[in-house]
């Protein structure tokens, strides 16, 4: 199980890790992403946002200043992926920015709103100080993932550890160390890190799956079922499906295991995990 499990966990970084089990969810998500809004709906949204800014005591000019930043990035061709994705559903133009400026001038002239309206810049910097500090940790996390992809697991773990010293309460970093530790067969620290990750944030499918794998290794299938079922609810992957099948077998739920193996084999027929699932399904059917 350990040899196959390491392959299971290692494949999580690849795009093919999710297979056919998530195709329907992907189609739904694509439909939602491609939804667009009419120009009038966007105008109304902008106007309402400006109104609420004023009610909350913020200078509405900040809304236009933010759009000016977007416009400069778009005009200069430097369009980050997140900005491109945002404007797929919220189309942006210079005209929209100028319309907001005109709305502010007409409805909230300086003489009306006074000079005590805040921009919130100082409060924003204070509120996001922790995020800026965590950015250093996630820069190290990204470097560690690159090393892990090159199978330099110990170097990756060292970088994860550096990241964790900066941001000790980040479950994603804890999960990274836990999974990397599993890949070198170091299950004791892996369990500790993955347990911490789940305790901090239990709605992350990888940490649940990794912890389920560790519990299978420790011959605790009942405990593994809990985490693997949760992982499958969060994101149904062939990897978690196969491991859950193993856990079901461990608690005597052979029919449930068979159904999962068949589903995994159908979803990922050309992968090692799919072939292993097909073989195990055949063995269970023969033993009936």
Q: Write out pLDDT tens, residues 164-176.
A: 999 999 999 999 9
**DSSP class per residue in 111-152:** HHH-S--B--HHHHHHHTHHHHHHHHHHHHHHHHHHHHHTT-
Distances (CA, A) of 20 to 126, 233, 241: 45, 15, 12
**Does 27 have pLDDT greater than 70?**
no
Helix (H) or strand (E) holding 162: helix 153-166
Residue-level pLDDT at 222 = 97
| Extents of the domains making up the chain | 39-127
Mean pLDDT along residues 65-69: 86
pLDDT, tens digit (0-9, with 9 covering 90-100), for 132-176: 889 999 999 999 999 999 999 999 999 999 999 999 999 999 999
Q: What is the DSSP letter of 109?
A: -
């Amino acid at each position: 199980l350990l040899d196959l499990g390491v392959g299971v966990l290692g494949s999580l970084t690849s795009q093919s890790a999710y297979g056919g089990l998530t195709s329907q969810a992907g189609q739904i998500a694509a439909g939602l992403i491609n939804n667009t809004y009419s120009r009038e709906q966007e105008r109304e949204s902008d106007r309402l946002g400006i109104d609420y800014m004023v009610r909350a005591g913020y200078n509405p000019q900040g809304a236009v200043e933010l759009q000016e930043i977007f416009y400069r990035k778009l005009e200069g061709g430097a369009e980050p992926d997140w900005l491109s994705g945002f404007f797929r559903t919220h189309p942006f133009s210079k005209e929209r920015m100028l319309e907001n400026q005109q709305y502010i001038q007409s409805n909230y002239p300086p003489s009306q709103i006074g000079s005590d309206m805040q921009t919130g810049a100082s409060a924003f910097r204070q509120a996001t100080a922790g995020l800026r500090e965590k950015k250093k940790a996630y820069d190290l996390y990204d470097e560690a993932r690159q090393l892990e992809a090159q199978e330099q697991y110990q170097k990756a773990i060292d970088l994860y550890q550096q990241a964790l010293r900066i941001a000790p309460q980040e479950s994603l970093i804890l999960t990274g160390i836990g999974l990397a530790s599993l890949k070198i067969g170091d299950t004791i620290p892996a369990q500790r890190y993955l347990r911490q990750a789940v305790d901090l944030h239990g709605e992350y499918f990888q940490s649940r799956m990794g912890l389920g794998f560790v519990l299978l290794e420790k011959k605790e299938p009942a405990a593994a079922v809990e985490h693997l079922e949760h992982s499958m609810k969060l994101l149904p992957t062939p990897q978690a499906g196969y491991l859950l099948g193993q856990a079901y077998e461990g608690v005597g739920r052979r029919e449930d295991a068979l159904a999962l193996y068949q589903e995994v084999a159908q979803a990922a027929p050309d992968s090692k995990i799919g072939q292993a699932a097909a073989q195990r399904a055949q063995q269970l059917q023969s033993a009936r």
